[in-house]
Structure 1
Amino acid sequence: MAEAPGSDPAAKTAAAPTTARRRRPPSILALNITTVFLGLAIWWAISLTGLQIPSPFAVVASAIDLAQRGILLEDVVASLRRVLIGFLLGSALAIPVGFLMGWYGWARGLLEPWVQFFRTIPPLAIIPLAIVLMGIGEQPKIFVIFLAAFLSCVISTFQGVVQVDRTLINAARVLGAKDGTIFVRVVIPASTPFILVGMRVGLGAAWATVVAAELIAAQEGLGYRMQHAQIYYDLPTIFVGIITIGIFGLLMDRTLLLIEAKLTSWQERR
């Protein structure tokens, strides 16, 4: 079809990207910032309705007071230390155990029933037993966090190994690769996304568990501070603890997402 008089194909081509840029949806970061401010506005509006919810300004004032007295830093350090130790120990053991269960049938037969059994028991139910056996020091808190992280990560690692495409493994064998080479070059890379998802789930379980452990037996930590504030009906301090846990949990989760992006750059993404 002939071009209409006066039409310029080059101009149309140049205008197309401009139109596409205009219609491009807002970035994820912009949406994140928008939803944060929207949530704060809703929170402030709810606090004005007369419900027993402190306003954002009252929570910020409480956080500043706790920070100036050094209490907030002590509690954050105590909880972070427990979470990191338990989470790292649990993940470090879960990954080789998951690989073992997924790669060897005899290991799956021996270990899977026990893993599934303990996975159905909430780690919080282990806290009273851990306190009786280990006392009220750091050991029972770290142990239950370790257990929560381990059970979350081991199942995900196991599923990652058993769901590796058999075509890839058979192709590697046809090319003469030994089992060790196949495991290192095929199974581990293919299982990495599953492992990191399990670690993210384990991280959330670790934070939930440490708060529960500190509610029962602790002298410092965010969970302990929230329980202490509950006695005096100090709602702003409780909100400070909740928000602090959420912020640190989010930052740690985003860190795992960045690690996942680096380790699985070969994976097709949407």
Structure 2
Amino acid sequence: MATDLRLDARNSAAPESVRDDHVTADKSSLTARRSFVTLFARYDRQLLGAVGIGVFLFLWWLGTETSVVNPKFLSPPQDVYDALVTGLSPGGELRDQVGPSLRRGLTGFLVGLGLGLVVGILVGSIRLLDKLIEPVLLFFRSLSILALFPVFLLFFGIGEQSKIAIVSWAAFWPIFVNTTNAVKGVERILINAARTLGADRFYIFTRVILPAAVPNIFPGIRLGASYAFTALVAAEYLGATEGVGIYIRSSQEAYQIPSMYAGIVILGVIGVTLNLVLAAAERRLTGWQLGLTSR
């Protein structure tokens, strides 16, 4: 008890400036912690994603370094990085193959996007059409794209048209299915309310159905973009003379394993970049919905 009283006496006898310094330091520390928590809460996805990538690269390096995975079959990340830098440098072989693949992939995706949206909106809007062609669409949707390669070659030959057609086919189905379900899934209460207020069919379709369906259409668009670049590699095997798919296959045949993985990494980067662009467009076009549902 006497010790506590002496400590209190010392604290009370401390200069005012010293106490102010302690209070200021405590406030600064608290402010810094709050700023860190706010920053982490705002960018937690990016920060945790970076940590996940770092852990993946470390495990990759550790697996090859300890020979858990044979380095002849899975090149160490530093070797793949060197092959990537060399291939993308001016005059590098990989750099020359990216352009043709991007052209094919984006062209096929845009064709599949347009067809998927138009056909999906028509089928989702017209009930009779939906019931009429549902068995046909279900049949073609169930077919493997690999089984259709000979058909594409017969109709379009071994040129660019067949490769773009394959990519378009792969991108079409997820976009079509999501668009159809999104249009059919618009709540009837919204449509009935617009009709009660005297809106005509065109107004209801453009101002009620489409805006309500857009948030559910975008996941299909992003999935279609992923399918498009997945099918691109297989499409480039069909008589192509340039492209990342050909680069990957020729590297594997020449047993240049780091270069093979460098091509795979490039395809992944292209897919991730396209997905980020589409996600930004989705946030821009459907931000109003986020504002309504986040409360």
Q: How far, CA to CA, are the matches of 1:126 and 1:74 in structure 2?
A: 29
Of the candidates 146, 157, 161, which is equivalent to residue 179 of structure 2?
157
How is 1:108-257 mapped onto 2 (pairs within 5 angstroms)?
108-257=130-279
Q: How far, CA to CA, are the matches of 2:95 and 2:155 in structure 1?
A: 30
CA contact (8 A) 1:193 1:264 kept: yes
Say yes or no: does 1:29 pair with 2:46: yes
Match of 1:54 in 2: 75
Task: State the Cα deviation string for residues 17-72 of structure 1 (Å, max 9, x = none).
Answer: 95765655552221122222221111111111222321111111112222233321
Larger Rg: 2
Match of 2:57 in 1: 40
CA RMSD of aligned residues (A): 2.0
CA contact (8 A) 2:158 2:238 kept: no
Q: How far, CA to CA, are the matches of 2:188 and 2:34 in structure 1?
A: 42
- Residue 97 (structure 1) shift: 0.9
Q: Relative to 1, partners in 2 of residues 1:20 and 1:175: Cα closer, same or farther, differing over 3 Å?
A: farther
CA contact (8 A) 2:215 2:282 kept: yes
CA contact (8 A) 1:86 1:146 kept: yes
Unmatched 5+ residue regions in structure 1? Answer: 1-13
| Aligned positions, number | 256
Q: How far, CA to CA, are the matches of 2:36 and 2:219 in structure 1?
A: 35
CA contact (8 A) 1:124 1:209 kept: no
Task: State the Cα deviation string for residues 189-220 of structure 1 (Å, max 9, x = none).
Answer: 11112221111111111111110111232111
Q: How far, CA to CA, are the matches of 1:130 and 1:48 in structure 2?
A: 44
Q: How far, CA to CA, are the matches of 1:153 and 1:110 in structure 2?
A: 20
How is 1:4-19 mapped onto 2 (pairs within 5 angstroms)?
none
- Residue 133 (structure 1) shift: 3.1
Mean CA deviation greater in 168-177 or 18-27: 18-27
CA contact (8 A) 1:115 1:151 kept: no
* AA in 1 matched with 2:154: V
Q: Residue 237 of structure 2: SS of its match in structure 1? A: helix
Q: How far, CA to CA, are the matches of 1:110 and 1:150 in structure 2?
A: 19
Task: State the Cα deviation string for residues 158-192 of structure 1 (Å, max 9, x = none).
Answer: 00011111111111111111111111111101111
* AA in 2 matched with 1:66: G
Q: How far, CA to CA, are the matches of 1:200 and 1:156 in structure 2?
A: 11
Match of 2:8 in 1: none
Q: How far, CA to CA, are the matches of 1:48 and 1:239 in structure 2?
A: 17
Match of 1:65 in 2: 86
TM-score (norm 2): 0.81
Of the candidates 72, 91, 98, which is equivalent to residue 120 of structure 2?
98
Unmatched 5+ residue regions in structure 2? Answer: 1-26
CA contact (8 A) 1:124 1:144 kept: no
Q: Residue 177 of structure 1: SS of its match in structure 2? A: coil
- Residue 111 (structure 1) shift: 2.9
Q: How far, CA to CA, are the matches of 2:186 and 2:256 in structure 1?
A: 52
TM-score (norm 1): 0.88
